[in-house]
Every structure is written in structure tokens, then in C-alpha cells.
Amino acid sequence: MKELVVKGKVWKYGDNIDTDAIIPGKYMGLKTLEEQIPHTMEGVDPSFSDKVQAGDVIVARRNFGCGSSRETAATLIKACGVSAIIAESFSRIFFRNAINQALLLVECKGIFSAVEEGDIVEYASSSGVITNITKSVKLNAASLPDFLLGILQDGGAIENFKRRHRIG
């Protein structure tokens, strides 16, 4: 399995960031992702889509992505350029929706207290180590099984299915 490595600037959020905060329901009727992107994370950080840069990382405390099974929440975070979300825990439905959309999620106990917004962090899937480069702190994260890494590396669940079944 090819190693996944991400490195980016931290945007930090707390507990129970639900899918309605990630993309409020009133914007679900917009026809395109381009119309929805400016509203990503609006419920907790209205300027998120203006300041986030490609490769950045969201760090959260517990239960990130709770609430509805709104797949668009993970899709929009990825569309904003976020390379990974590292949290102490995730909602199960959000976790799988994100993996299916090729958005890397990593569980890591203690991550919330180990970083500040603006820090630079790096994650390497082969070691499972998260390094806060700004503070020279290392944490061990939960490992992702190979089949989930395969989905991420293929660009999502649909592309993974096509590869495994030699379609397209």
C-alpha cells in the first residue's frame, strides 16, 4: 500500500461539529458545489471558505460530523482543499462518507490539546504518526485498515470499485 502523507496548516474546531454546521440545510437546494462552497463550515466559522487553502487540515475534538447523514458535508470540505481532518473521534456515518469521497480522516487521542490554530501538522499513514511541526510534538494516531487506504488512494469509493472490477 502506498503511503499517504499530508502536511498543512491547522484550522481548529471543538466538539460535536454537526453536518448542519458544516453545510446548513438552507444551502442544500443550491444546484452546484461551486454555489455551496462559500457556505462550508458557515455554522461554526463563516469565513472558513475564504481563508482555507489547499492542503490545510481541520483538527477537532470529539464527534466531528455528527447529525444527519449529509454526504455533501464531506464533499464540500474536500472541495475547499482540506487534505485531512484529524479528530479525537468522528460520527460513524460522516467517517464513512468522508472516506467514500476520498477525504482522509484520522482519529488521534490528545490531538486537540497538542495543536493551536495555525500550527503546521504532518501525518504519515505508514507510521500513524502525527507531527506538530510548529511545536515539535508527535502523537500516535489510530491506523486505517488497508482497504480504507485503498479507497482514499483510488480517489474515493466509486473509483476504487471501478479499479477492483476493471471498469472504465
What is the sign, positive or negative, of the torsion defined by CA atoms of 30, 62, 57, 128?
negative
* pLDDT tens, N- to C-terminus, the chain (168 residues): 788 999 999 999 999 999 999 999 999 999 999 999 999 999 999 999 999 999 999 999 999 999 988 899 999 999 999 999 999 999 999 999 999 999 999 999 999 999 999 999 999 999 999 999 999 999 999 989 999 999 999 999 999 999 999 987
> What is the third-level CATH fold of 5-164?
Aconitase; domain 4 (3.20.19)
What is the Cα–Cα distance from 120 to 71, expressed in whole angstroms? 28
CB 29 within 8 A of CB 77: no
Q: Beta partners for 123?
A: 6, 130
Q: At what angle do helices 71-79 and 92-100 cross, to 10 degrees?
A: 50
